[in-house]
């Protein structure tokens, strides 16, 4: 399993009229965790896209357990429990200290930039992922 942590501070525009993080922002936090995890492995999204591959989200799921508020420091825990195949599954936890606030997952396809048709993950991508498991 691959596990990565990214820290973010809740910004004022992330909150809603109730003073808590708007639920849609958590998907943006998931994206931040995912892109930073891949970047740390030497797989910046910009480089993946430059190679002609996109990673569109096919499914997104989240469970809100406790609210986060303005100016709090959060930890986005990003996990890959299995090697990617035709799809890449990523799981997330968002924590405030040791308190679990949100859990969720996203599922991604590998597609070509020009046709958006599904393709197998690039060999270089898979080799790098294999070295992390």
- Among candidates 50, 46, 52, 133, which has minimal Cα distance to 88? 133
pLDDT digits (tens, 9 = 90+) for 14-59: 999 999 999 999 999 999 999 999 999 888 888 889 899 999 999 9
**What are the boundaries of each domain within the chain?**
2-132
Tokens of 13: 């525009």
Location of structure tokens 């080799």: 127
So what's the pLDDT on residue 100?
99
Please say if the pLDDT value at position 85 is more than 90: no
pTM of this prediction exceeds 0.85: yes
Q: Could you give the CA distance from residue 14 to residue 86 in angstroms, rounded to a whole number?
A: 33
Distances (CA, A) of 94 to 4, 16, 26, 91: 12, 18, 8, 10
> Yes or no: is domain 2-132 CATH 3.30.420.40?
no
Location of structure tokens 């790098």: 128
So what's the pLDDT on residue 81?
94
């Amino acid at each position: 399993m691959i596990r990565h942590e990214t820290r973010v501070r809740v910004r004022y525009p992330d909150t809603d009229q109730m003073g808590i993080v708007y639920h849609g922002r958590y998907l943006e936090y998931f994206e931040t965790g995912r892109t930073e995890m891949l970047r740390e492995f030497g797989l910046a999204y910009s480089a993946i896209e430059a190679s002609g591959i996109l990673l569109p989200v096919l499914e997104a799921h989240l469970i809100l357990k406790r609210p986060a508020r303005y100016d709090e420091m959060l930890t986005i825990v990003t996990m890959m429990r299995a090697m990617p195949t035709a799809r890449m599954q990523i799981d997330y936890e968002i924590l405030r200290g040791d308190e679990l606030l949100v859990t969720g997952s996203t599922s991604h396809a590998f597609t070509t930039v020009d046709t958006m048709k599904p393709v197998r993950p690039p060999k270089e991508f898979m080799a790098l992922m294999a070295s992390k498991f």
